[in-house]
């Protein structure tokens, strides 16, 4: 696993082939298993497969490099909780990092 962390790189050109459902589920599970403050898990993931929506998101919110990808995973953090809201962005970041490493592996 350390090799996967040390050899991970940022991708700016994505393949257009579909991601097998079982691989996507493993990646999502890696995010779900990430630690969170007080185990509140204030994170939700939205899978965007619609190419028009991906293009729109890229034009307005996300990096332009994702436009050609077969899908994007959008991490959403519940920041309004009094108990864990201030940690929700950190929790979401940890979960996404888990998913990046899982995708690379």
The yes-or-no verdict on residue 83 having pLDDT over 70 is no
Print burial letters for 69-102: b (CB count within 10 Å at least 16), e (below 16).
beebbebebbeeeeebeebbeebbebbbebbbeb
Mean pLDDT over the full length of the chain: 85
Count structural domains, the chain: 1
Segments forming the whole domain that contains residue 62: 2-104
The yes-or-no verdict on residue 65 having pLDDT over 90 is no
pTM above 0.85, yes or no: no
- With tokens 């998913």, the residue in question is 99
Count how many Cα atoms sit within 13 Å of the Cα of residue 91 in the half-sphere of its side chain: 22
- Where residue 25 sits, what CATH number does that domain have? 3.40.109.10
* Per-residue pLDDT tens over the stretch 16-41: 789 999 999 999 999 999 998 888 88
pLDDT value at position 45? 94
pLDDT value at position 82? 61
Band of pLDDT at residue 2, cut at 50, 70 and 90: confident
């Amino acid at each position: 696993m350390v090799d996967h962390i040390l050899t991970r790189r940022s991708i700016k050109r994505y393949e257009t082939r579909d991601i097998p459902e079982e691989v996507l589920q493993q990646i999502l599970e890696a995010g779900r298993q990430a630690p969170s403050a007080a185990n509140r898990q204030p994170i939700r993931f939205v899978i965007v497969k619609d190419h028009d929506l991906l293009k729109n998101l890229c034009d307005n919110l996300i990096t332009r490099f994702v436009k050609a990808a077969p899908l994007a995973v959008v991490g959403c953090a519940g920041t309004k909780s009094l108990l864990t809201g201030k940690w929700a962005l950190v929790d979401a970041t940890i979960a996404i990092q888990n998913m990046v490493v899982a995708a690379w592996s």
